[in-house]
Structure 1
Amino acid sequence: MLPTSHRPKNVALITFPAIGDSLLLMTVAHNLRRHGVAVTVFGPHVHTLRNWFPGIPIEPALAAGSAGERLAGFDLVIQLHDDRPFVDLASLHPRAIVLEHLCRQRSPKSMAQRLAEFSRDELGLPQAGKYNGIVPPAGLGYRRHATRIAIHPTASTLDKCWLPQRFTALGLKLRRAGFDPQFIVSPAERPQWEHVQDLGLGLPDLGALDNVAAWMFESGWFIGNDSGIGHLASSLHIPTLSLFKRLGSAQTWRPDWGPGRVVIGSAYIPAGRLKERIWKYTLTPGRAARAFARLRKNLPIPAAFAPPEGM
């Protein structure tokens, strides 16, 4: 742990253009700010959500050509991965920390928990916690649409994605059970999912990420792949059901702020290579629906969005 006298006074956090990674690194930003350290965050997604993180200066992504000059005024610079957004962060700043080692740890702890412990043990922030500082703007109603289920059927890579037709089958099953399933995808992905509207399933056109966040905050539930939208739902304390291909990735990257469960698609597949190839075929809509029923039955759902006391 850094002694208080050696604690940095002005820190830059550089987020990669991935929603989940950005929300996770905001845990470090919030812990620094809470302990009196000036912090500035750079990144496209958090900049879009800057009104959701009051009190923290958030700027757009750094341009590669001017990054070194822009970072010179900070006494510490942190990014999550060793190859993005900057491949050699140490060449841009003499005091740089890359947290790739936390991502590669063999541990049952989530990344949110690992970043909280890094903040406490390595940065010397004794009251550090998992909360990332997100605060919904005034006027929104937490889980106002209690039967609305946000279904996110895409992810950053295809290997993380459950079969589209099974997401559709799950949506129909949930609609028959009295819920309001709504498929949320990016504008570029909409053409591949417009067919769900013909089946009576929702496909809202939400636009920018801050609109997605507002819509998500008023939804009752979230079901989706291993993706940044799952982290967004969890950080807003929307109960989440996340579908993962393997246990190891679920332990590390599961959403871990609000109530949630994970389903491991490869749980009953013995061989490692087979897990990667066929998990999405062995995971059935019925199994996902049963996991959602357990989420509703067994986990306490908060009555309101309430950040940790004192945070």
Structure 2
Amino acid sequence: MQHANDSALNVAVTTSPALGDSLLLMTVARNLQLSGKTVTVFSQHMRALRDWFPGIDIQPALRDDDADALLRPFDTVIQLHANRPVPRLEQRHPDALVLEHLCRAPSTEPMAGRLAQFCRESLRLHHAEPGNGLAVPAGLTHRKHRLRVAIHPTASTPDKRWLAPRFVRLALELKAKGFEPHFIVTDEERADWEHVQQHGVGLPRLGTLDNVAAWLVESGWFIGNDSGIGHLASCLRVPTLSLFMRRGIARTWRPGWGAGKVLVGGAWLPTGRLKERCWKYALSVNQVLRAFQQLQREAT
């Protein structure tokens, strides 16, 4: 990359289809912009949240057939993973920066902190911070519904998902304690969770990611699997409890913005393979409730 103080530098940031990755890479985009660079973000999810990122140019996600033409005018192109969203980026652009090595770095920092450190040390943006520029639009009140607990029971892959019946039991326990649990799922997932409504558990129809963010920012708490929605809650400074399968994964990918706790299921299991297969069975509802109580004490 050219000298970090070159104010004419024109940078493209391309984010993967994953919501969490996209929110994280906005940390780099934000710090570059604050240093005087011209930054354009190509991202499906961030395009949906463009009203939450004022002043940042956010374009639709790149398609492989138009990526070369759209990226050619940029001095530098940055993406997190080697082959997504743009496959073989380092062969297709003369000044591509792929940051995948940060995912494997021997660091105790979450990815938000690692990306800020990369900006300080490699891009020489000495005042870089983990913030990604997300700002709550006017008309919304942060944590307006203090007793509302947003529960996200799904994830991008089955191995990341705690057991569905335990999520339901957790919601009922929270309801008995005076909280207002609601499950956040996509329209495609909704049929699998409609039964929770018969127990008095909420299942709002939120639709767009913009609506999810607006509803989430006014919630008091968040509990969920390792997922992009957890990163969004953390970005919105809603206290988060995130459930993970392995300690190493949690160390890297835990939400890194607002107050939060991580709970790893089956950390006592002897091998990584067993942890990945059995964590969801080893993690009890009572463990999650105790961790939530700790989060309450720490976040108030």
Q: One fold, TM greater than 0.5?
A: yes
Per mean C-alpha deviation after superposition, the further-off stretch among 268-277 and 195-204 is 268-277
Q: Decide whether the 8 Å contact of 2:62 with 2:85 is kept in 1.
A: no
Matches within 5 A, 1:207-286: 207-286=207-286
Deviation string, structure 1 residues 94-150 (Cα, Å, up to 9, x no partner): 100111101111221100000001111111111100000000100100100000000
Aligned to 2:15: 15
For residues 30 and 279 of structure 1, what CA distance do their matches in structure 2 show? 36
Q: Decide whether the 8 Å contact of 1:226 with 1:244 is kept in 2.
A: yes
Unaligned runs of 5+ in 2: none
Provide the aligned length of Structure 1 versus Structure 2. 300
For residues 285 and 4 of structure 1, what CA distance do their matches in structure 2 show? 49
Aligned to 2:197: 197
Matches within 5 A, 1:48-63: 48-63=48-63
Q: Decide whether the 8 Å contact of 1:219 with 1:238 is kept in 2.
A: yes
Deviation string, structure 1 residues 195-252 (Cα, Å, up to 9, x no partner): 1011111100000000000000000000000000000000000000000010000000
Secondary structure in 2 matching 1:187:
coil
Secondary structure in 1 matching 2:189:
helix
Kindly, what percent of the aligned residue pairs are identical?
Answer: 58
CA RMSD of aligned residues (A): 1.3
Q: Decide whether the 8 Å contact of 2:239 with 2:299 is kept in 1.
A: no
Tell me the amino acid that sits aligned with residue 104 of structure 2.
Answer: R
Structure 1 residue ranges, 4+ long, deviating more than 3 angstroms after superposition? 1-8
Matches within 5 A, 1:120-135: 120-135=120-135
Matches within 5 A, 1:165-204: 165-204=165-204
Aligned pair in 2 of structure 1 residues 8, 78: CA closer, same or farther (>3 Å)?
farther
Secondary structure in 1 matching 2:173:
helix
Aligned to 2:86: 86
**Structure 1 residue 3 displacement after superposition:** 4.4
**Structure 1 residue 91 displacement after superposition:** 2.8
Tell me the amino acid that sits aligned with residue 123 of structure 2.
Answer: L
For residues 187 and 46 of structure 1, what CA distance do their matches in structure 2 show? 19
Aligned pair in 2 of structure 1 residues 5, 228: CA closer, same or farther (>3 Å)?
closer
**Structure 1 residue 268 displacement after superposition:** 2.2
Q: Decide whether the 8 Å contact of 1:43 with 1:62 is kept in 2.
A: yes
For residues 14 and 7 of structure 1, what CA distance do their matches in structure 2 show? 20
Tell me the amino acid that sits aligned with residue 26 of structure 2.
Answer: M
For residues 73 and 2 of structure 2, what CA distance do their matches in structure 1 show? 21
Q: Decide whether the 8 Å contact of 1:80 with 1:100 is kept in 2.
A: yes
For residues 39 and 266 of structure 1, what CA distance do their matches in structure 2 show? 43
**Structure 1 residue 2 displacement after superposition:** 6.7
Deviation string, structure 1 residues 158-195 (Cα, Å, up to 9, x no partner): 00000000000000000000000000001100000111
Aligned pair in 2 of structure 1 residues 161, 8: CA closer, same or farther (>3 Å)?
farther
Tell me the amino acid that sits aligned with residue 170 of structure 1.
Answer: L
For residues 35 and 62 of structure 1, what CA distance do their matches in structure 2 show? 25
Per mean C-alpha deviation after superposition, the further-off stretch among 42-51 and 64-73 is 64-73
Matches within 5 A, 1:12-161: 12-161=12-161
For residues 62 and 224 of structure 1, what CA distance do their matches in structure 2 show? 30
TM-score, with normalisation over the residues of structure 2? Answer: 0.97
TM-score, with normalisation over the residues of structure 1? Answer: 0.94
Q: Decide whether the 8 Å contact of 1:79 with 1:99 is kept in 2.
A: yes
**Structure 1 residue 270 displacement after superposition:** 2.2
For residues 100 and 87 of structure 2, what CA distance do their matches in structure 1 show? 12
Tell me the amino acid that sits aligned with residue 37 of structure 2.
Answer: V
For residues 216 and 231 of structure 1, what CA distance do their matches in structure 2 show? 11
Q: Decide whether the 8 Å contact of 2:246 with 2:272 is kept in 1.
A: no
For residues 47 and 121 of structure 1, what CA distance do their matches in structure 2 show? 29
Secondary structure in 2 matching 1:147:
strand
Unaligned runs of 5+ in 1: 302-311
